[in-house]
Structure 1
Amino acid sequence: MFAFPDWIEEFQVEDNLFAEAYEATEPRLRAWLKKTIAQVYGVNAPESPRKSWTVNTWPGGFETEVSQRPLDWTVMLINEGSVSPVRILAALVPALAAGVKNVLAIYEGQGHIPQSVLAAFELAGQEDIVRLERDRLEELLTTIAVGGSCGAVLDMRQDANLFLNSPYVRYWRAPFISSISVCKDEESPDMDALAFAHPDVDFIDVDEDSIAECSGDCAVVPAEFVGEALVSFRTVLAYGQEGCWIWNDFGSRFFRQESIALAVAE
């Protein structure tokens, strides 16, 4: 059975910091974090069984038998550039929804972890967070990469330079989000929520006439413009979703391992 090395416990982020971060985050902003958790969890089918065994009979007289189960572990890497609580949650929650039991968040270095990020971890129930310098981080990843257990590394660092040559490790690096195009009306969207969710991006004003000519990482638009915006943007947030996030082409399937057998059909 997989377990992270005992020595990481001495680098655990102090419990009191989570409580302080929770209290320091305004209730209306915590609500956006809770909404992100609930929606990403819902999209990633938590009602599916933790383990499954599927038998398919094919023309030609043969069968495939497929067994699915969660990965043994997941490590999320963050650093001083990882400041978006909702983008972190949108990467973390699919692992939790898939049933991964050993999940560890690692802050590389000794810098300040934003209270919004700590509050996001607290709300998701993810309190296994450690601070490691580069040499100890590499030691840990090397140890678990060659240990024979299957896992995943989620890299939320903007300056990532990680290379793990292991058949047991999956690696996903969060796409860099540099700007979000925002179509505003008199009351929407909630720009304070957007600034809280994405403190590291530029917000670009667009309108209903120019949205079709724009492209980029993400757009925030009224519901009636969603279809038009999807042509040019990989992620579109309708009004009422501006404080949330979901990653494109990424979900709980990334955190499930499969075994397959070929058999003769009876």
Structure 2
Amino acid sequence: MFEFPEWLHDYQIEDTTFGDAYEDTLPPKRAWLKKTIAQVYGINSPDAPGKTWNVNTWRGGFETEVSTEPLEWAVLLLDAKSVSPVRILAALVPAFAAGVKSVLAVFCGEGEISRSVLAGFELAGQENVVKLPVDKVDLLLGEIIHCGIDGALLDLRGEPGYVKHGPGVRYWRVPEILSISVCREDDAPDMEVLAFAHPDVEFVEIDEDSIAESESDAVVVPAELVGDGLMNFSIVLSHGQEGCWAWNGFNSSFFKRECVALAVAE
């Protein structure tokens, strides 16, 4: 049974801090965080069993037998530049959906954790959050990476440094989002909500005719424009989804260990 080191309790974020952050985040904005959590959870098939065993028989006279089970632990690394609550939740929730039992969020170095990020953790049920000086981060990673139990590191820091690695440890570096193009229509999308969800990015206003020329990392458009014509963006949000997020190509399968066997078909 995997357990994080006991000395982390001295660096645990207090319950009152979570409560204050929750109260500081107005209900309409909390609703967007809840919507992100629910949608990302749904995308990642939380109703699937924790362990699976699939057998396929192929025409060549052989079988593949694939068994899967969740990793034991996951650690999210944050810093003072990790301020987008929805982008962080979109990385965290797939671990829950996969069935990872031990999940830890680690704020590294100087500064304070964003209140909206703390509110997102509170809503997601992620209260195992610590704030560590850099030397303690290295100590923690050294202990868990070499413990012999498979796990995952999610690097959500705005200024990532060297990360220790070892066998059985998966590493994912969050894609950088510097700008989001916004195609407006009447009063949509809600720019205040976008600013709350992504306080660290530049919003570039475009129109339908200039979408193809946009070089932003994501785009927000009216629902009727969603389709193949936006393939130059990896992430597209329609109006009504502007306060949510989902990472393209990153899902609960990242948090599952597989064993593949080749067998002779009977």
Change (3 A) 1:229 1:189: farther
Segment drifting more, 254-263 vs 53-62: 53-62
Q: Deviations over 1:215-250 (max 9, x none)?
A: 320111101222265222111100000000111110
SS for the counterpart of 2:166 is coil
Within 5 A, what are the aligned runs for 1:6-17? 6-17=6-17
C-alpha separation in 1, matches of 2:202 and 2:215: 14
CA shift, 1:133, in A, is 1.0
Query: Alignment RMSD, CA only?
Result: 1.2
Question: What one-letter code is carried by the residue in structure 2 that aligns with 1:3?
Answer: E
Q: Deviations over 1:190-220 (max 9, x none)?
A: 0010000000000111011211221320111
Question: What one-letter code is carried by the residue in structure 2 that aligns with 1:190?
Answer: D
TM-score, normalising length: structure 2: 0.97
Q: Deviations over 1:118-171 (max 9, x none)?
A: 000000000000011111111111111111111000011011123333121100
Change (3 A) 1:264 1:209: closer
Residue number in structure 1 paired with 2:20:
20
Change (3 A) 1:242 1:99: same
C-alpha separation in 2, matches of 1:168 and 1:160: 21
Residue number in structure 2 paired with 1:57:
57
C-alpha separation in 1, matches of 2:197 and 2:22: 15
C-alpha separation in 2, matches of 1:82 and 1:4: 23
Residue number in structure 1 paired with 2:190:
190
SS for the counterpart of 2:209 is coil
Residue number in structure 1 paired with 2:38:
38
- Aligned residues of 2:212 and 2:230 also touching (Cα < 8 A): no
CA shift, 1:57, in A, is 2.3
CA shift, 1:15, in A, is 0.7
Residue number in structure 1 paired with 2:258:
258
Residue number in structure 2 paired with 1:209:
209
SS for the counterpart of 1:210 is helix
Question: What one-letter code is carried by the residue in structure 2 that aligns with 1:206?
Answer: I
- Indicate yes or no: 2:153 matched with 1:156: no
Within 5 A, what are the aligned runs for 1:72-151? 72-151=72-151
Segment drifting more, 33-42 vs 256-265: 256-265
Question: What one-letter code is carried by the residue in structure 2 that aligns with 1:264?
Answer: V
C-alpha separation in 2, matches of 1:216 and 1:77: 25
TM-score, normalising length: structure 1: 0.97
Question: What one-letter code is carried by the residue in structure 1 that aligns with 2:218?
Answer: C
C-alpha separation in 1, matches of 2:158 and 2:46: 30
- Aligned residues of 2:152 and 2:255 also touching (Cα < 8 A): yes
CA shift, 1:23, in A, is 0.8
CA shift, 1:110, in A, is 4.0
Percent of matched pairs sharing the same residue: 60
Residue number in structure 1 paired with 2:243:
243
CA shift, 1:108, in A, is 0.4
Question: What one-letter code is carried by the residue in structure 2 that aligns with 1:168?
Answer: G
- Aligned residues of 1:216 and 1:234 also touching (Cα < 8 A): no
Which structure 1 segments of 5+ residues have no match?
none
- Aligned residues of 1:18 and 1:119 also touching (Cα < 8 A): yes
C-alpha separation in 2, matches of 1:58 and 1:128: 45
C-alpha separation in 2, matches of 1:259 and 1:232: 35
Change (3 A) 1:179 1:229: farther
SS for the counterpart of 2:20 is helix
Q: Deviations over 1:83-109 (max 9, x none)?
A: 000000000000000000000000002
- Aligned residues of 1:33 and 1:120 also touching (Cα < 8 A): yes
CA shift, 1:254, in A, is 0.3
- Aligned residues of 2:80 and 2:158 also touching (Cα < 8 A): no
